[in-house]
Copies of this chain bind each other. A is one copy, B any other.
Amino acid sequence: MRFSTRTRYGLRFLLRLAAQPQGSLLQLGQVAREENISSGYLEQIVRALRPMGILRAVRGSGGGYALAKAPADINMEEVFQHLEGEISPVRCLSKGRSCQREKHCSTREFWSELDGHIRSFLQQRTLQEIIESEKHSASGGNYVELY
């Protein structure tokens, strides 16, 4: 059970945007360089975020990205949903899926509760909160390795 680099990189990208002065643009290539992420890969990841509608993109030379919503209004459950694809710990809990054992399955209830627990934690966490907890421990500085 491990979250993919997609989710980790995507989150870091969003945090960079959120840390940016309101209204200014940040270029993907710059983030990629500073965070040691391949820019091609980061573009894929950002593409997955686009349908969320939290990004404002300006195309063409001098373009870049900005957040289209306040960091306090962006919760992790949404973000994970788009980056990770599906969060459900087991397939049969994904929407649209079902299973014939459903009615008498000894573990379904357990998986469902675990799923709910993770979801509600993520729902309560906003970008804003993550930035704030960052300020306490952060020393700023240069980025060396990756999460």
Which A positions have Cβ atoms within 8 angstroms of B? 1-4, 7-8, 11-12, 15, 76, 80, 84, 86-92, 99-101, 103-111, 113-114, 117-118, 121-122, 125, 130-131, 133-134, 137-141, 143-147
Ranked nearest first, the 6 interchain pairs of A and B with the lowest CB-CB distance are: A100-B144, A106-B134, A100-B145, A104-B139, A109-B133, A3-B89
Given A2-B1, A121-B114: A106 in contact with B89 (beta carbons within 8 A): no
A108 touching B3, Cβ below 8 Å: no
Residues of B within 8 A of A92 (CB): 147
Copies in the complex: 2
Residues of B within 8 A of A8 (CB): 90, 107
Query: How near does chain B come to A124, taking the closest CB pair, in angstroms?
Result: 10
A104 touching B145, Cβ below 8 Å: no
A133 touching B110, Cβ below 8 Å: yes
Complex CA gap A100/B103 in Å reads 49
Residue of B nearest to A86 (CB): B2
Complex CA gap A116/B105 in Å reads 28
Query: How near does chain B come to A1, taking the closest CB pair, in angstroms?
Result: 5
B147 touching A101, Cβ below 8 Å: yes
Query: How near does chain B come to A23, taking the closest CB pair, in angstroms?
Result: 21
Query: How near does chain B come to A142, taking the closest CB pair, in angstroms?
Result: 9
Query: How near does chain B come to A76, taking the closest CB pair, in angstroms?
Result: 8
